[in-house]
Amino acid sequence: MFFCERELRDNHILKKPVRVKWQDDFFTDSCLTWYASKKELRLTRFGRSFSLLQAKYTGALFVLAKESDVDYAAFLFDTEDAIQQYLDAFGLTPAETNCLVQSNAASLELQEDAAIAQFISHLTMDFPSSYEMARAAREIIAQNQPFHVTKNPDQSLLDWIQMEYRLFRTIEHDRYGGIVTAGFSTVDDFLTLANKILNRRKSRAGKSLEHHLAALFDAYSIVYTAQGITEGKKKPDFLFPSAEKYHDISFPTEKLCTLAAKTTCKDRWRQVLNEANRLRSKPKYLCTLQQGISSAQMDEMQEECVVLVVPKPYIKTFPRTRQNRIWTIHKFVSYIKELQS
């Protein structure tokens, strides 16, 4: 995105002046620096009055878009709604952040081309359900993955989610690429298709994590109820061991557990606090793909007995002094297995 291979090969430290337009509001004359020994890229020279480098923006979504070799546009989305709106527009989950987002689905490098093409060729509907999409992604991964999911549940979950995104974008391109290329006769035709695609992207991203967690629990032979009702209209994403046991007053409360699944939780984590009255004074477990949450918010979560459960590779994105509070996927499933032993 920034340098060619020759520049990277011939320079130990490589600098490039760039002009960055922030939030469509103001500019900075900044500098891109590549350190070969650290394999690290830095964007610097914002000026002393730069307001966006504050701890309160931890967990915000930073987007940098290339407009020319020296001109870039940068945005910082700091609210849950703004972050979700951006992710939905591209059909992304937080698992696909911290990397280059290709604007053309056809340019994605897919090692599993043959398996994906075979899946698409056998489709009998316009678009498979989010459940079928998630299942197909896991099957494609299984064909190329030498170890069982229980050997590394954290990486397996990420692999599944990332493959589902690739699969989804490939099907999307197959179904609509020709229509988009041919153009539209009216603005209404364009808006109808655009809204159809956007709504499907929102639906897939929202259900993806739940589907894959359910498959993970099945692999571990864990007993659970998905979307089971506790009280009134309260529905935890996962209730262990079951909704029936939850409503059985004679069943020990210490053997019950819930897990909420939210792709992002920067603002919405408080929604999990009252999902089960019997567990009000117990830890509330929240699985998320959010990468990075501020120290202040993590302290609030601890006060409310909320325990974050995230894929192990993501823990490094959280404040160092709070990382010991976070559970990995492996730690959580091990805990549930122990509860149910």
What secondary structure does DSSP assign to 5-68, as a single string? HHHHHH-SEEEEEEEEEETTTEEEEEEEEEETTTTEEEEE---TT--S-SGGGTTPEEEEEESS
DSSP label at residue 159: H
CA 68 remoteness from chain centre: 29
Backbone angles phi, psi at 73, to 5 degrees: -115, 135
Tokens of 70: 């020296």
Phi-psi region of 251 (alpha: psi -120 to 50; beta: other; left: phi over 0): beta
β-partners of residue 288 are 262
For 142, the token pair is 């299984």
DSSP string, 293-341: --HHHHHHHHHTTEEEE--GGGGGGS-GGGGGGPBPHHHHHHHHHHHT-
Q: Is the dihedral of CA 125, 131, 135, 141 positive or negative?
A: positive
Q: What is the crossing angle of helices 113-121 and 130-144, to 10°?
A: 140
- Single out the catalytic residue among 224, 246, 285, 314: 246
Q: Is 246 a catalytic residue?
A: yes
- Strand pairing report for 71-77 and 225-226: unpaired
Which amino acids are annotated catalytic?
246
